Amino acid sequence: MTTPGRATPDDAELVPIAVDADGLDTAALTRVLDQESPAAAIVFCRTRQETNDLTEALRIRGYAAEALHGDMNQGERDRTMRRFRDGQADL
C-alpha cells in the first residue's frame, strides 16, 4: 500500500551522468536537474569529500541539497533522510 503523494521505487527514474576522473561536472548536473525538474533526486558520489563539495556547490546554486555519508552520526543521517522525505531537501 502506498501513501498518497509519496514516491515509491516504481516511480523512480534513473538518469545516469558520466563524470571524468577528476569528479562530477556540477554544471552538467545542474543542467539535467533544471531540464528534468525532479521533485527529488539522489546523487551518488565516490567519496565523502566529493559529497560535501557537491552539496556546497548545489547550495550555492540555490538547490536545497543535503549531504549523507558515513562520517555523519546516525542522528544526522536520520534527520537528513527525514528532510528529504518531507520535501525540505531536493537532493
Q: What is the dihedral of CA 13, 26, 69, 65, to 10 degrees?
A: -80
The tens digit of pLDDT for each residue in 37-87 reads 888 888 888 889 988 988 998 999 999 999 999 999 999 999 999 998 888
Most confident of 5-9, 15-19, 70-74: 70-74
39/73 Cα distance (integer angstroms): 27
